Amino acid sequence: MLEQQLFVDSTARFEELWNITKELRQKLDARFELRLNESTKDLQNYSAQVGAAHGSLNTFSGAEVDWLVHSWLREPISGFCNMHLTVWLGSQIRVPHLAFAFATVPNLFFYMDYISRGDLLTDLDYLDRYYEPANERYLTFLKDDRFQQYHSKTLYIRQVQSQTSLCYTSQITDETIATLRLTAHEMMDRWLGWVDEAEPVPESERAALAQRDLIVRRAIAERDPDNKIAVQLFGEYMTDQLVRSLWGDNRI
């Protein structure tokens, strides 16, 4: 898309997708007390030195949420946009983290997942509790020919995705957007229920869980293959700032 430099007006679809993330954020704000982290204040509005690409990255934390990212970026000439809403919980509970990513490329791309905080090969109670409920929706998408499953070429990205993750491309239509919205809210509501019902993690295990969470969060941010797109749009220095902010390197 970026190399062809063909004008694609995706403004309306960008607004639709961004509004979905804001609807989800409203549910988070109703459940958690969140504070804006000042470390990303300079990234609330950023733009490329050359070209029309621009974006916004905001991060939050609280007593129950270790790191929350709500961000978007756009290159309006090509119609490319990308947005994230990710919630990394604190170590007081072991509920999976929550991840949403939507994009126009120019077709619709989306990734929705519960990021595991345990070994799903051996912790069968964890698997049954948090991933079995999502399996039916996963199987439904496999049978829906409107959506084409996307497989990353990057090994780590495939490794970090759960076996019920929804990672797809499709044509952008009112129907596919409606399905995305319905599924995202379904995943959010299920996840909030888990948070409310979760048992506390013993104090002696929390430091190790927090360390594991940080390793995963940093690796996802640094190994994302689409970082090279950010380099094309914003240069290496700005991309480094964005990537470090995604995992909280400079958090205050």
Q: If you compute the radius of gyration of the chain from its CA atoms, what whole number of angstroms results?
A: 18
55 confidence band (pLDDT: 50, 70, 90): very high
pLDDT at 5: 54
Closest CA relative to residue 48, chosen from 70, 75, 71? 75
CA distance 81 to 235: 17
pLDDT at 3: 58
Q: Decide: helix, strand or coil at residue 177.
A: helix
Closest CA relative to residue 170, chosen from 139, 140, 141? 141
pLDDT at 2: 54
Taking only the tens place, the pLDDT of each residue in 102-123 is 999 889 999 999 999 999 999 9
Taking only the tens place, the pLDDT of each residue in 5-38 is 566 778 899 999 999 999 999 999 999 999 999 9
Taking only the tens place, the pLDDT of each residue in 211-249 is 999 999 999 999 999 899 899 889 999 999 999 999 999
Residue 155 pLDDT greater than 60, yes or no: yes
| Residue 119 buriedness (CB in 10 A; 0-12 / 13-18 / 19+) | exposed
Give the whole-number percent of the chain exceeding pLDDT 90.
88
CA distance 136 to 222: 32
Beta carbons of 246 and 238 less than 8 angstroms apart: no
Taking only the tens place, the pLDDT of each residue in 63-83 is 999 999 999 999 988 888 999
CA distance 103 to 21: 12
pLDDT at 4: 57
pLDDT at 250: 85
